[in-house]
Structure formats: C-alpha cells, structure tokens
Amino acid sequence: MKFKIFAVKELNPQQRQQIAKLCFSAFDEDPWSQYLFMQTASHLVGILDGQIVSHALWTDRVFTINNSVKLKTAYVEYVTTDERMRGKGFASQLLRYLIDVLTRLEYELAALQPEDDHFYKKLGWTYWLGDLYIHQDNSTYLTNENKIMLYPLSIQFKDLLLNSTEHDTICTNWREGELW
C-alpha cells in the first residue's frame, strides 16, 4: 500500500469520490458536507492498485493541558478501510504512518474519539483519564460525556499525557458539530 497526503483542495474529483464512498459506507456521511472547518482537513490515504482503500484525516487544534501547557494537536477522524479489505492490517499501517508524518510535521499530540478502542490500544493510543473542557466565547464548560484517546508525539509531555489522572484537564476551543 502506498500512502499519500492531500489538503482538501488538492483532492481531484475521483479521489474525492472514493473518499466520500468509503466514509458514507462507514459513517453515513462524507467528511466535508456538514462543517466548514473540515475544509482545512488534511487527508491521509492508503492506495492499492490505484484505489483508495484506507483513509484518515486530521484537523488542527490546540489542547491546553492543566491550564498551562498548550500543545499543537492533530485531531484524527474518519478512520476507515474499504469493507472488502478489512482485517488485512491496512488501517494499522495507515495509522502508524500517520504518527510518523505528524511527528515530522512537529505536532506535539494526536487525539481522537474512538469507536473501536481495542484497535487503537493495540497501536499504542491511550485514554485520557482527566476532565475535558470546551472553551467558547467567554466561558469554559465540562464535557465529560466524551472520552478521547491520545498519542503523545512530543517526548517532553509524554509522561504527563500517558499518566493522566482525574485531577488533570484538557481544554480546547469549541467547534461545530461533534466537540470531540
């Protein structure tokens, strides 16, 4: 499988169509139709015999840890493999490649809200055990109905992120749609 990265505007119509088909089949929606911020996403695709068989995207966020450290964060979504090609290790390969790419791009943290946490745990992602806050306008509110998993990319903050307790906090800016 070959990997390629595209900004949304770099996708040609055929690539857009292939990604939309994968995402519709897995999530009943394409990534772009609902929310404007998805126009700034970066797409990572896995290509086999000219077809996109596996896909993930990320958008940029800033996560503030314990009201002090601000981390450049890649928020990962729409992870999926073509239904006919699952169980062959493609999404695992894609996510390992994603971690390498994000590290090279100097992201300090990758984060996501898992549907299949077994899959992500095997790849080294861990749950954040602290509180999750959203900052909107002049207020900040708790959103603990959500659980996210993290993959620390900066060695400096690895211990803090991997050994979180219920006393730790992450805060990030509000966005449209799913907050996490």
Ligand X SMILES: CC(C)(COP(=O)(O)OP(=O)(O)OC[C@H]1O[C@@H](n2cnc3c(N)ncnc32)[C@H](O)[C@@H]1OP(=O)(O)O)[C@@H](O)C(=O)NCCC(=O)NCCS
Shortest distance (Å) from residue 118 CB to ligand X: 5
Nearer Cβ to ligand X (54/64): 54
Name the site residues for ligand X (rule: CB under 6 A).
26, 54, 79-81, 86-92, 114-116, 118-119, 122
* Number of Cβ within a 10 Å radius of residue 153: 23
Nearer Cβ to ligand X (155/177): 177
Shortest distance (Å) from residue 137 CB to ligand X: 29
Shortest distance (Å) from residue 110 CB to ligand X: 13
Burial 56-83 (b: 16+ CB within 10 A, else e): bbbbebebbbeeeeebbbbbbbbbbbbe
The burial class, CB within 10 Å (0-12 / 13-18 / 19+), for 177 is exposed
**Taking CB positions, which residue lies at the least distance from ligand X?**
89
